[in-house]
Amino acid sequence: MQQPNPFMRKREKEVLNTLLSFITEKQSSWEKLQAETRPIFIYGMGDGAEKIMRVFREKSIPLAGIFASDEFVRGHSFAGYKVRKLSEIEAQVDDFVIVLAFAAGYQSLVDKIVELNSRHTLIVPDVPVAGGGLFTYDYCVEHAAELEEVYEMLADDESRRVYANIINFRISGNIRYLMDVTSPKAEIYRKIIKLTPNEIYVDLGAYNGDTIDEVLQYTRGKYIRIYAVEPDRKNFKKLCKYLDGKNFVYAYNAVAWCLDTTVPFSTKAGRQSAVSAFGQEIDARAVDSILQGRPATVIKMDVEGCEREALWGASQTIAHFSPKLMVSLYHRNEDIFALPLLIRRLNPNYDLYIRHQLYIPAWETNLYAVPSQKNSLA
């Protein structure tokens, strides 16, 4: 068996480092935790905590306990641990590490986490919303060519800065990378998407109508048509209630998919419902089928890890009409490079932007694809 050439291995590493020069974090949050000698406490409960605890067990990371905000502690337990108060732990333990296990998407809660980060060592490990595996530097090395290609194709310096920071956050769990690149929604809608009163808007993962409402705020309530797709029945009822009385609106209780079919779907609380091997069969629709050759001007995709399938299902619309796209980049590990590359494959005449809205962890990191100004001026 031929032995690896040490010179070639060194050269390969040099090439990878050149490709990934925008990635400065090499040690993953999990490796940091494995090396810790201080007590480690998980802050929060629920699905996020369960995922983190599974990795703790796999990597033999010791867990000292679980705590919640003081006002939420009622003497209960979670996963075999008594849920404690932060103030109680601070009174008893001089120095410890906090692992955040829940999402924060509004300013007062984000401010609280930032303040906590100033007093303690705070790590926010990245666990995928959908799919498996962990986002580490080694994972980035495996996909160096794709990551570099996306980085180079981005339309502005700010997108490249956001891209680099999001990747470095996902490796390290350090929230300063997120705080440094958070953009307000108004900037995105006004300066990148540039909404007009003449939009034909397709909302995939319409939830209760919240994003439709955002869009209408920037178009002063005007539009040509709206297509809303939401698979969860309870959310769909709320969506229909919100849409009641609005004209030229079409709502579908279905999964956004690559073709018209049925798929297994698991209903969970809020936005967490998703396609699952253990779910009940429900309708799935492709955008191209819904539109039947008619145009769309804006398509939003936040479909809990099915963005790739939804893009393929809208491939003809994207190729022929170049609608502006707003696509979530955070559900699966590979989304951050696979989805931009797929969009460019479907239609090369897009300028691609990446922005991160207020959120911890790196949720609400989105790709915005708009028809290239260079091509429109040609």
pLDDT single digits (tens) 13-39: 555 556 789 999 999 999 999 999 999
Average pLDDT of the segment spanning 258-275? 72
d(CA 90, CA 65): 13
pLDDT of residue 312: 98
Are 142 and 194 contained in the same domain? no
- Lookup: tokens for 149: 């290609």
Are 191 and 296 contained in the same domain? yes
Q: Please report whether residue 316 resides in a domain.
A: yes
Are 218 and 135 contained in the same domain? no
At residue 274 the predicted structure's pLDDT band, cuts being 50, 70 and 90, is: low
Are 69 and 193 contained in the same domain? no
At residue 265 the predicted structure's pLDDT band, cuts being 50, 70 and 90, is: confident
- Residue 374 has a CB neighbour count (10 Å cut-off) of 10
Q: pLDDT above 90 covers what percent of the chain?
A: 81
Does the structure show a pLDDT above 50 at 8?
no
Q: What is the pLDDT of residues 83-102, one digit of tens each?
A: 999 999 999 999 999 999 99
d(CA 125, CA 311): 28
Greater confidence (132 vs 174) lies with 174
Pick from 121, 151, 179: which residue ends a domain? 179
Does the structure show a pLDDT above 60 at 4?
no
Are 33 and 154 contained in the same domain? yes
DSSP 60: T
d(CA 84, CA 369): 45
At residue 79 the predicted structure's pLDDT band, cuts being 50, 70 and 90, is: confident
DSSP 363: T
Q: Please report whether residue 192 resides in a domain.
A: yes
Q: Please report whether residue 371 resides in a domain.
A: no
pLDDT of residue 377: 34
Are 216 and 271 contained in the same domain? yes
Number of domains in the chain: 2
Going by DSSP bridges, is the β-strand pair 261-266/274-275 parallel, antiparallel, or unpaired? Answer: antiparallel
Average pLDDT of the segment spanning 75-87? 88
Residue 220 CA neighbour count, 13 Å, CB half: 3
Are 274 and 154 contained in the same domain? no
Q: What is the pLDDT of residues 319-373, one digit of tens each?
A: 999 999 999 999 999 999 999 999 999 999 999 999 999 999 999 999 999 999 7
Are 144 and 216 contained in the same domain? no
Does the structure show a pLDDT above 60 at 187?
yes
Are 264 and 230 contained in the same domain? yes
Are 216 and 147 contained in the same domain? no
CATH number (domain holding residue 294): 3.40.50.150
pLDDT of residue 71: 80
pLDDT of residue 76: 82
Q: Please report whether residue 1 resides in a domain.
A: no
**Residue 48 is part of which domain span?**
6-179
Tell me the pLDDT of the chain averaged across its residues: 91
| DSSP annotation string for 85-148 | EHHHHHHH-SS-EEEE-S-B-SHHHHHHHHHHHHHSEEE-----SSSSS---HHHHHHTHHHHH
Q: Please report whether residue 349 resides in a domain.
A: no
At residue 213 the predicted structure's pLDDT band, cuts being 50, 70 and 90, is: very high
Does the structure show a pLDDT above 50 at 376?
no
Alpha carbon distances (Å) from 351 to 228, 338, 366, 371? 25, 16, 14, 6
Are 28 and 10 contained in the same domain? yes
> Which residue intervals of the chain are DSSP H helices?
6-19, 29-35, 47-58, 86-92, 107-119, 137-142, 144-153, 157-172, 176-179, 185-187, 210-218, 233-243, 287-291, 307-313, 315-321, 335-346, 373-377
Are 64 and 82 contained in the same domain? yes
pLDDT of residue 378: 34
Q: What is the pLDDT of residues 299-322, one digit of tens each?
A: 999 998 999 999 999 999 999 999
Query: Longest Cα pair distance anywhere in the chain, in angstroms?
Result: 72
The kind and range of the H/E element at 71 are none
